[in-house]
Amino acid sequence: MRRILFLTACLCIWAGSILAQIPKSPEVKDGEGQYNQLIIRGVTLINGTGAPPNGPVDIVIEKNRIVQIQNVGSPGLPINNARRPALKEGGKELNCEGMYALPGFIDMHGHIGGSAQGTPAEYVFKLWMAHGITTIRDPSAGNGLDWVLEHKRKSADNTITAPRIYAYTAFGQGNRSGIHTAEQARAWVRENAKKGADGIKFFGAPPEVMDAAIRENKALGLRSTCHHAQVDVARWNVLNSARAGMTSMEHWYGLPEALFTDKTIQQYPADYNYSNEQHRFEEAGKLWKQAAAPYSDHWNKVMNELISLDFTLDPTFNIYDANRDLHRARRAEWHEQYTLPSLWKFFEPSYQSHGSYWHNWGTEQEVEWKNNYRLWMSFVNEYKNRGGRVTAGSDNGFIYQTYGFGYIRELELLREAGFHPLEVIRSATLNGAQALGVEKDLGSVEVGKLADLVIINANPLKNLQVLYGTGAIELTKDNKIIRTGGVSYTIKDGVVYDAKKLLADVKKIVDQEKAKTGWQLKQPGIE
């Protein structure tokens, strides 16, 4: 029963609850490099720090480090060859004239799929890498901490095609009898650190357990995050977590509760049942309007305190996108080619699959959620404006959000919240690195940092949609419809991956399953 409790508490846990059945990712190397010297020639750089685009530049990488960034001319004029860094013997050049380079993206909420969705790790990893995601934080280590740490090592050694992995174990994972006391909590936290985890993902627990676990974890130098599930949020919200030393939060649950002024508990209807997911998600859509209004005294006070505690928000806007427009999320143009049939089946309305609460979802629910988003986005945007850290996390593999694609949607939604495209990119890169505590090595394209880059033949500041694997639609002067963008190269740790080839591999995995099952995407109830 304990597992049931976990399952209902989180968007995450379903994915990896049955450990033994997870297919292993094949140990093939799809990328090329590292090189003694790799020079990316003539690219326009968006470096992730908030600096505007600058170029053309040559970026020189040795093995896996950026060693030089050299301006090589003026925009629109031929490259000034005299300025170009010389190619060493055995060096490799990548001609990227006219293209844009960005830091590798960091997905702060990246589940690696699993048996409930029927998704092989290779499918998930390649979708991420094809979208320029070179680092993920796995919030719950849903495939088991040992499995995640094994793949973290393989990724670090570049023996598999996968982003860098940071493992934040689900609090209590592996403890079958549950954690009921502060002492049990501290013991579990110490054991988790000893095993090599990077942090903890909480879902809520009794206050004394939360407090002890967060403090012990912090004392050990690890980081933490929480999906403040409704079952515990009335007695422990986001402010409690931040004050105890938690470093970040997922989604948004627990924030409206910290912002209540005229109530202490969400206004649940009497027939509400948390395990009924239509109840859970429908009522969540009415939550922000129950909290203090934007810019009111209490709203300001809570925001300012969270910022003073250096607390990171990881909103995962995209994972609730279907709640305000189910048609859009279901009919996204990449599903036919890139959503694995078993994943599609997992998304479809069901009383059982997590995040498939489309029992009776329509205009009323969507309008509530649209209003919910406005209040939520106001908070997140102002948090950023006052110096608070906001990151980009996808939580994909649920609610019609396919890996990689959903992350790009997250960037679009940060834009919608009010972020300038450069602020969006910074959230997706440097802010993520800071939240993970790895900004010395990752998060921006600067000399001395590890070589994680995204290279694309279009300007993502003009249209973030060019970052989708399927690119963006463009009409040429002679009236032809073309696709612009899709990441061209993903460079991770100095290894160069052809992002289009990775996407083709994903399509092959999908095609194989289609051929095996005869599946084709249909609208439920329509023959």
**Segment lying near Zn ion (by CB under 5 A), choices 6-14, 24-32, 377-385, 498-506:** 6-14
Strand partners, 169: 140, 200
Residue (14 or 497) nearer to Zn ion, CB: 14
Strand partners, 483: 473
Task: For the CB of residue 109, give the shortest distance to Zn ion in the complex, in Å.
Answer: 6
Tell me phi and psi for residue 193, to 5 degrees.
-65, -40
Task: For the CB of residue 17, give the shortest distance to Zn ion in the complex, in Å.
Answer: 13
Burial of 447 (0-12, 13-18, 19+ CB in 10 A): exposed
Residue (73 or 397) nearer to Zn ion, CB: 397
Task: For the CB of residue 108, give the shortest distance to Zn ion in the complex, in Å.
Answer: 10
Residue (11 or 430) nearer to Zn ion, CB: 11
Task: For the CB of residue 231, give the shortest distance to Zn ion in the complex, in Å.
Answer: 16
Among 9, 11, 212, 332, binds Zn ion (CB under 5 A): 11
* Number of residue whose CB is nearest Zn ion: 12
Task: For the CB of residue 403, give the shortest distance to Zn ion in the complex, in Å.
Answer: 13
Task: For the CB of residue 409, give the shortest distance to Zn ion in the complex, in Å.
Answer: 15
Tell me phi and psi for residue 319, to 5 degrees.
-75, -15
Q: Is the peptide bond before 37 cis (omega within 30 degrees of 0)?
A: no
3-state secondary structure 471-499: CEEEECCCCCEEEECCEEEEEECCEEEEH
Task: For the CB of residue 379, give the shortest distance to Zn ion in the complex, in Å.
Answer: 20
Which DSSP string corresponds to 227-244? ---HHHHTTS-HHHHHHH
Residue (16 or 56) nearer to Zn ion, CB: 16
- Rounded to 10°, the helix 421-428/405-417 angle is 130
Residue 200 in contact with Zn ion, rule: CB under 5 A: no
Burial of 167 (0-12, 13-18, 19+ CB in 10 A): buried
Task: For the CB of residue 117, give the shortest distance to Zn ion in the complex, in Å.
Answer: 13
Task: For the CB of residue 365, give the shortest distance to Zn ion in the complex, in Å.
Answer: 21
Task: Tell me which residue of 256, 333, 271, 249 sits closest to 302, measured CA to CA.
Answer: 256
User: Hey, how many other C-beta atoms are within 10 angstroms of the C-beta on 259?
Assistant: 25
Residue (11 or 185) nearer to Zn ion, CB: 11
Residue (9 or 472) nearer to Zn ion, CB: 9
Task: For the CB of residue 396, give the shortest distance to Zn ion in the complex, in Å.
Answer: 9
Residue (216 or 314) nearer to Zn ion, CB: 314
**Segment lying near Zn ion (by CB under 5 A), choices 9-17, 294-302, 303-311, 443-451:** 9-17
Residue (11 or 456) nearer to Zn ion, CB: 11
User: Which residues, numbered 216-275, are part of the site for Zn ion (CB under 5 A)?
Assistant: none
Cα separation, 527 vs 524, whole angstroms: 8
Residue (11 or 197) nearer to Zn ion, CB: 11
Cα separation, 135 vs 449, whole angstroms: 14
**Segment lying near Zn ion (by CB under 5 A), choices 10-18, 263-271, 349-357, 370-378:** 10-18
Task: For the CB of residue 37, give the shortest distance to Zn ion in the complex, in Å.
Answer: 40
Residue (55 or 393) nearer to Zn ion, CB: 393
Task: For the CB of residue 154, give the shortest distance to Zn ion in the complex, in Å.
Answer: 23
Among 8, 9, 12, 401, binds Zn ion (CB under 5 A): 12
User: Hey, how many other C-beta atoms are within 10 angstroms of the C-beta on 267?
Assistant: 11
User: Which residues, numbered 366-395, are part of the site for Zn ion (CB under 5 A)?
Assistant: 395
Q: What is the dihedral of CA 217, 223, 227, 228, to 10 degrees?
A: 50
Q: Summarize the chain as % helix, strand, coil (round to 5).
A: 40, 20, 45
- Rounded to 10°, the helix 499-517/121-130 angle is 140
Residue (113 or 460) nearer to Zn ion, CB: 113
Strand partners, 450: 65
**Segment lying near Zn ion (by CB under 5 A), choices 3-11, 168-176, 238-246, 503-511:** 3-11
Q: Burial code of 457-494, b = ≥16 C-beta within 10 A, e = fewer?
A: bbbbbebbbbbbbbbbeeeeeeeeeeebbbbbbbbbbb
Total residues in contact with Zn ion, by rule CB under 5 A: 3
Residue (323 or 444) nearer to Zn ion, CB: 323
Q: Is the dihedral of CA 448, 449, 450, 451 positive or negative?
A: negative
**Segment lying near Zn ion (by CB under 5 A), choices 7-15, 42-50, 455-463, 472-480:** 7-15
Binding site for Zn ion (CB under 5 A): 11-12, 395
